[in-house]
């Protein structure tokens, strides 16, 4: 990737610390998640490769820009999304987001995978980027805090 646009949560914030340490990836802090999607798309349209690092709450904000920019203009866009509120998340107030995350991804027809920390996570990221490139569309890798250990 050449650029990663992000709104952090606890988990994504840790991931972005690693991104900032990279000399190859421009980290862009944004105010709202739809911006992150458009910024990543702009980098890709200009010859780079943009990624979006956000929480699932923010992904739920992004239906319009996914349909009206990413899908409509067929732009590769790779997401790493923290999956708050699934069964492994100890924080109770994330639960409603967790309940609707995969259902929403399905309704929006977004291809996605759950990161599997028992396997090679770098390979899963590489595969997601590749699938976004091949489909010229979005691809979402859902992660949990444990995946960052």
Partner 1 sequence: MTPRKTFLEALVAMLTPRDVLVSCLGANARYLPHLAVPAPCIALCDSMGAAIPLALGMALQRPDRHVIALEGDGSLMMSPNVLATVAAARPENLTALLWVNRHYESSGGQALPAAPVDWVGLARGLGLTHVEPVPDVATLHAAFPRARDARSPALLVLDVAFDPHEEIPPYSERPDEIRARFTVA
Q: Which residues bind partner 1 (CB under 8 A)?
A: 2-3, 5, 26, 28-32, 34-48, 50, 64-65, 67-69, 72-75
Distance from C-alpha of 13 to C-alpha of 19, rounded to nearest angstrom = 10
Closest approach of partner 1 to the CB of residue 98, in Å: 26
Identify the helix (H) or strand (E) that includes residue 79: strand 77-82
Q: Which is nearer to partner 1, 43 or 115 (CB)?
A: 43
Q: Which is nearer to partner 1, 61 or 104 (CB)?
A: 61
Distance from C-alpha of 91 to C-alpha of 89, rounded to nearest angstrom = 6
Closest approach of partner 1 to the CB of residue 1, in Å: 11
Closest approach of partner 1 to the CB of residue 14, in Å: 20
Cβ neighbours of 26 (radius 10 Å): 17
CA 78 remoteness from chain centre: 6
Closest approach of partner 1 to the CB of residue 26, in Å: 6
Q: Which is nearer to partner 1, 50 or 85 (CB)?
A: 50
Cβ neighbours of 24 (radius 10 Å): 8
């Amino acid at each position: 990737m050449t650029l990663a646009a992000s709104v952090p949560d606890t988990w994504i914030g840790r991931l972005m610390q690693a991104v900032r340490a990279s000399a190859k990836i421009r980290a862009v802090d944004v105010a709202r998640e739809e911006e992150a999607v458009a910024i990543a798309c702009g980098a890709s349209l200009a010859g780079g490769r943009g990624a979006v690092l956000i929480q699932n709450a923010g992904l739920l904000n992004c239906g319009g820009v996914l349909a009206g920019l990413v899908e409509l203009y067929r732009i590769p866009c790779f997401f790493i999304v923290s999956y708050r509120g699934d069964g492994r998340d100890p924080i109770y107030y994330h639960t409603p987001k967790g309940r609707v995350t995969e259902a929403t991804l399905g309704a929006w027809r977004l291809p996605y995978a759950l990161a599997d920390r028992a396997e090679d996570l770098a390979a899963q990221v590489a595969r997601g980027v590749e699938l976004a490139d091949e489909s010229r569309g979005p691809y979402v890798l859902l992660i949990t805090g444990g995946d960052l250990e």
